[in-house]
Structures are given as C-alpha cells and as structure tokens.
Amino acid sequence: MYNYGMHLTLHQLKVFESVARLLSYTRAAEELFLSQPAVSMQIKQLEDNIGLPLFDRLGKKIYLTEAGREMFRYSRTIAQQLSEAETVIEELKGIKRGKLVISVASTANYFSTRLLAIFNKRIEGVTVSLDVTNRENLLHQLTSNDTDLVIMGRPPEGLDLEAEPFMDNPLVVIAAPGHPFAKRKRIPLTDLQDETFVVRETGSGTRMASERFFNEKGINLNTGMVMTSNEAIQQAVQAGLGLGIVSLHTLDLELKTNSLVVLDVESFPIMRQWYIVHRKGKRLSPVAQAFKTFILKEAASLWQMPGMK
C-alpha cells in the first residue's frame, strides 16, 4: 500500500521556509503577518510530523539541524514551483476569450484532443478550431500562415519556423497477436525483409521516419498497402494483412484488449519527438501563447497520468 509519509501542510512548509531563511522566529512572524507563538506552533507541529528537530537553539540564536537543512532545500523548491504555478494560472485566468487555430499531425491527434479538453476547461470562453492532417499539409499551412500553432514531428530546417520539442514519440512495429513473430524476442531487423508492411501515405511523418530508418540500416521493406490513417493501419494489421509501423501514442486499447501486439524488434523503437511549431516572429495571441506554454510545461507529464491514454 502507498505510504503517505509525512502529514505536513503547505502552510507549515511556508512558515518553515521563512524561519529557516531568516533564522529568526520574530522576523518570520513579521514577514508572514503572524504572531510569534503562531510561528513557533507551526514549527513545533512540523517537527512532530517529521519526527526530528529542524532547529537547534543556542542561547538566543537558532540554527538548522541536518534535517532542517534538507527540508529547507526541498521547501525552497516547493515554494518556487508553487509561485510558478500561480503565475501560470494567473496568466490563464487573464485570457477570457479568444480563438485558437491549431493543426496537428494525424498521429498527434490521439493526445492533442485530450490536452485541448483540459486546456479548454481551464480557460472558458476559448473557441478552438482544430485541423487534423499529415505532416506535408501541416508544413503548407505553416508557410501560408493559415494556423496559429502546429503539433508535429521535427520540421525541416530552413523554413523560418520556431519549433520546440515537448514529448517523445516512439514508433513501434505492430502485428496481429497470432503472427509468428508475436512471441519472438529480439527479432533481427533483417527478418523484417520477408514480411509485408501496411504503411502510411507519402507525406506522413511516421512514414518518412520509418523509411529513413530502414534506408540507413540498408533494409528493404515490402509495402503491401498504403493507408491514410493510423486506425486503418491498425485494422489492416489486426486482419492479418501484414505488419505495421505506428506511434506508440496511437495504441492503448488495442494493447489492453490484446487485439494487437508490439513486436520486440532489434533497434526499435524509432525514437522521434513531438514539437510545437509556429512561424518565426509570429505574434501569438494570448490564448495561443497560453496553449504553447501549457503544452511545453505540462503535456508530457499529463500524458503519463493514469486515465489520460
């Protein structure tokens, strides 16, 4: 069972941080607009919760004990993070209305929609226009300035774009559970040459990355069918039409219900990254700026949370 450990409160931590920084109960009490006995009581409760003294008293002076020094280090980080969270929330609250025009790669749609839902709950009154398309179309939209922000794989150099990575995007080989490779370990890449693959359309980032990967390794892939969506590939693979290469982000239910398996292939996954992209120098609206900040700071950790996938 999970042990919830120390039952300390944020208020106690705040009081402790102040006393530890100023090394004075009196000055901490002034800073926090509390009485001195109130400060002493918070520290006493914190020490009881922790089970170790945090301060040594020598005459009129107080010093941090070893436990006190450790707590001080953590409480400062916590205080900083809290104030950062406050700033972000304040910024978000400031954006009362606005329109967010965003385009995402088909593969990124799996997490983008859920992240947009969270963002939208935080800032009410924002209208979102979301376009889901492949990499090539996204690059066109960026060049013609048709969109505020784009979520895609790493864009090419030389297009005058500002692109920041925010989350890993592992590409994996999938098969039907009954496939002879399903139970094999460390399948050599060369064994894939005899298989048929169901692949994404030209213009897809997933396709581009897998082609580059196999070219570099000198492996020729047999392309059986081309499909314009990850779902179509998954269904074709389930139906036994071949193997597929998709982002791990597109699989969840399929793995839980065992309708597809991820093969253990040498050198896999192909590790890509997701980027949030806009034209260089583009003046982002407050809502677009807030969305960009939200993605950069929170997308990766939110996506790891249970229930998100």
Residue 218 in tokens? 């000198």
DSSP-derived secondary structure letter, 228? S
Q: Does 42 bind ligand PGA (CB under 6 A)?
A: no
Which of the ranges 18-26, 78-86, 200-208, 258-266 carries the binding residues for ligand PGA, by CB under 6 A?
Answer: 200-208
- The residue from 54, 92, 100, 152 that contacts ligand PGA (CB under 6 A) is 152
Residues in the chain: 309
From the list 205, 233, 279, 288, which residue makes contact with ligand PGA (rule: CB under 6 A)?
205
Q: Name residues whose C-beta falls within 8 Å of residue 291's C-beta, 6 or more positions apart in sequence.
A: 100, 102, 119, 149
* Omega before 269 within 30 of 0, i.e. cis: yes
Please report how close the Cβ of residue 142 comes to ligand PGA at its closest, in angstroms. 13
Site for ligand PGA in 82-141 (CB under 6 A): 105-107, 134-135
The residue (of 42 and 247) whose beta carbon lies closer to ligand PGA is 247
* Residue 167 contacts ligand PGA per CB under 6 A: no
How far is 199 from 224, CA to CA, in rounded Å? 8
CA 117, chain centre distance (Å) = 15
Size of the residue set binding ligand PGA (CB under 6 A): 12
Q: Which residues contact 142 (CB under 8 A, 6 or more apart)?
A: 150, 155, 159, 161, 277, 278, 279
Residues 241-300 that bind ligand PGA (CB under 6 A): 272
Q: C-beta of 167: minimal distance to ligand PGA in Å?
A: 12
Which residues make up the interface to ligand PGA (CB under 6 A)? 105-107, 134-135, 152-153, 200, 204-206, 272
